[in-house]
Structure 1
Amino acid sequence: MFQPLGGGGQLTRSIFNGATGLSQFFPQWNKIDLCVLTVTILDKIQKMHDLGLLFGCINPASIYIAGTQDVYFVDTDSWQVEGYPALSHNQTFTPPELLRDNKTLLIYTMDQENYQIAVLAFMLMMPGKFPYTKGKNADERDSIIDMAFPFSVGGGMRRSRDAERPSGIWRIVWDHLPYQMCDGFYNTFHSNGKYAQPGYRLDTTKWIKMTKDFNDTLMTSNGAGSRSMFPRTFRRDGKRVFVRCKICGQEHPDYYFIHSIHVQQEKIDIWERGYRICLPCASDQSNMSFRCECCGRQFYYTNRTKVLHEIGKSDFDFKKQRWCKDCKKRTIKCGHCGQEVPIYQMREFEDRLRNLRTSVCGNCFKELIEKSKQEKEAWKNSVGRWVSCRSCGRSFSITNGEIEYFSRKGYNLPTRCPNCRKKRY
C-alpha cells in the first residue's frame, strides 16, 4: 500500500516555535486559522482512536503542517498498536504519573493519551508555550511531576504554588482564550484540578468542541484583538480600567502595572507618585546606566531599577552605583589581615610615615586610620632636632610637629630656647 506524500513544515519548527516559526511558515495566519488547524489535527487523532490506534507518546516533529486543513502524520511505525508498546518517547508529553514511576518502555492507556492530547491542544492554542513553569532550580521533568501550572481562571482558581507568574505576551494570549477552554486547561494541568488525576481527563471530542466554539466566537466577534496570534493587550470587556504605559505607550488594565517597589525594606507606592510602567516594560532596559569602577564595563538599569534609584536618591540619599554584580562577587586578600574579602570593599591605605600604599578591607582601613592618627600624634610630639641656643648656649629640642609647622608656614626654625625667647619679649 502506498501512502500519500507528506508536505509542509514540522509542527515543532512552525507553530511550536512561537512567533518566529509562525512568521517564517504562516505569516498571514490569525487565531481563526489556528482554531481550524487544531480541529483538523484533533479530528485526525479521533479517527485514529476510532481505529484502535494510539500515538503512545506524541512526537510533534512527526506532524507536518501544509495548511489549516492540510496536515500529515509521519513515522506511523512508532504508534502504539494493540498490545505492542510505543517506540517513541517525549518527556514534554509524558503524563506526570509515568514520570513519577520513571518507566521507559510503556503501553499507554487511553486516559494517558487524553492527557497528551490536552498538552497538544494547549501548545497549539498558546503557540509553542509549555503548560508548566519551571520553578527555582527545577527542570522540565520536575515541573511536570509537580504540575506547576502558572495560569489561573476565575476567583476560585489559583496558580500552582511556587510556579512563576506568567508575564508579558503569554499572560495576554491566555486572557484572550474563552473561559470554557481556560477552565479545561486549568483543571487538566493544575495539581488540584478536577481533570488532573488519571481516569478523569477530557477526551478528544471535548477539545474539538471547545475549539469549534472558540472559532465560532471569533468569526462573529467584531474585536480584532482576540483574532491576533499575539494580542498587544488584554480583552476590553467593559469592566477593566485601561491605563497608558508611559514607556511603550500601550494601554493595559491597571493591574498590569507595577504599583509599588521596596527600597531598603520600605514599601513605596510609585503609582501615587505618577509612575505608569507596565510589567513587560518594567523588565526592559532603561536609558540610565553606570560604569563599573572595577571592570570598566557599562551597565544599563531596567526601568524598575531606574525608578528604585530615582526614589532612593531623592528619599534615601542613595549614592551612585560604583560596582557591577559580577565584580561584587570577586574576592581578594586583604594586605593587612590576610582574609578574602569582596574586591569592591577594598580600600587603598597610604602610610605617609613609611611611604607605603596597601590595599586593605574596610575594617582594617578604619583600624589603620586610627592607628595612623595615633602614630602621627606621637611623631609630632617626638624630638625632631636638637639645637644650641645662640643666646645662652644651652641645647633645646624642636619637635617634628614644630618643624612641620614652620616649614609649612615658610618660617625659619627657632635659634633661641623657649626661656630666652620669653626673656626677649
Structure 2
Amino acid sequence: MKKNINICWLRRDLRLNDHAALYHALKGELPVLLLFIFDRKILDDLNDKKDARVTFIYQQLQQMEKELQQKGSSLLIKYGTPEEVWPEIIETYAVKEVYTNHDYEPYALERDDSLSEFLRTETISFKTYKDQVIFEKDEITKADGKPYTVFTPYFRQWHKKLNDFYLKAYPVEKYLSNLFQTKPFAFPKLSSLGFEKSDQNFPSANFERKLAAYEERRDFPFDDATTHIGLHFRFGTVSIREAAAKAISAKADKWLSELAWRDFYMMILSHFPQITTQSFKPAYDNIRWINNEKDFEAWKNGKTGYPIVDAGMNQLNQTGYMHNRVRMIVGSFLTKHLLIDWRWGEAYFAEKLLDYEMASNVGGWQWACGCGNDAAPYFRVFNPELQAKKFDPENKYIYKWAPEYKHPQHTQPIVEHTFARDRILKVFKEALNS
C-alpha cells in the first residue's frame, strides 16, 4: 500500500534551516519527504562535464543527506526531466501536497506552471513560497502600483519597508520530527549524471568576517574585500534573511544595498521577462554590433592587450569568479570598445560564473552596455587604463592574474581607446536616433 506523504521539492534552497517551503511542509499533517531532481533540461546544456556548479550542488546534497540520516530520514534524488520524474514519484507514493519555493527565471516559471497543471489533474496541491529574496515582484512598488525601473527610489522604499518581520527566520528545526522516516535512498554517483568532480575551490559561507572590509575596500580587486557569497545565494545554502539581518547588525550598509540590487533585478525580471533576450530600452536593439569573432575570442581568453581586462577574464576562467568592479570594466570593454553584443558576454558569464544568476547577470550586462533599465549612460565609456590606475594602482591584481604584463613584450591592445570611444558614440547615436 502506498504511503501518504507530502513532498518538499528542493531547487535553489539547499539547506535545512530558515527554509520557507520546508517549514510550511513540516507543519502539515503528513510526513515530509525531501526531493531533489538533477534536471536534464538544465544539465544537458552544460558543455563542461567538470562544471564546478554541479560538483557544488552534489556536495551540498551529500551534506544534507548526512543531516537527514541523523533524523531517520533521507533525501530522494532523481535524474531526469521533471515531466519524467513526477509521474514516477506519484506511482510510488500517495502524495497529497507538494511544497517548493518560488523561482523567477523563465524556464523555472514554465516548469512550475506545467507541474502545477499536472498535479491538479492528480488532485495534488502545489504550494510555493517566497524564499530567495527579501521582497519580490509587487512588494515594493510606486504609489500607482507600477514597478520601479530605477534603483535609487526602489531602494529607498525597500529600506523603509525592511523590518524584523521580513527578516525573521523560519524555525524549521522545531518540526524536523515530521520528516518522512525511511532507510537511506541510493545516492547517485556524479558519473551517472554524466559529470566528473571539479577540483574548484568553493568560497566559504562565512561572509560576516568580510563585511567591515567590504564597506571600505570593495572596489579594489586585489584586496579581496568582497564576500564571495553569491554562489551560496545562487543555490540557497545561505538564507537571504539571515544575511540581511547580519548586515544590519554589522552596520554594513553598502553590502545591504547589494542585497537590494539583487531583489531589484529579480523584480525587474519578473515584470519584464523579455530582458533575457532584448534590451530593456528597445532603441538599443538597433545598435549595429560588429560582433568580430576574433575579438570575442581575445576577450574571452584574456588577450585584449588591456591589463585589467585580461586579468579579470583570467580570474574568471581559472576560478569561476570575477571581482564586481572588474565585471563592470570587462562588460563595458566588450560592448563599447569592441562593439560586441552584450548577449554574447552575458552567455559567456552564464557558462563560467559560479555565482551566475540570470536576473543579476542580465541586469549587470545591460547596465554596462547602457541599454538596461537603470543603466550607465551610453556615453560613459570606462577607460580601462584609468580604472586600473584608480583601483589597482600598484598592479597587484593585474600581476596576479595576468603576470605577462610584468614584461614589456606583452600583448598589444586590440583596439585603441580613443578610437573605440569615438566609434561607439557614433554607432550608439545612430541607433538611438533611427
**Normalized against structure 2, the TM-score is what?**
0.24
Greater CA radius of gyration, 1 or 2? 1
Whose strand fraction is larger, Structure 1's or Structure 2's? 1
Name which structure has the greater RCO, CA cutoff 8 Å, separation 6+. Answer: 2
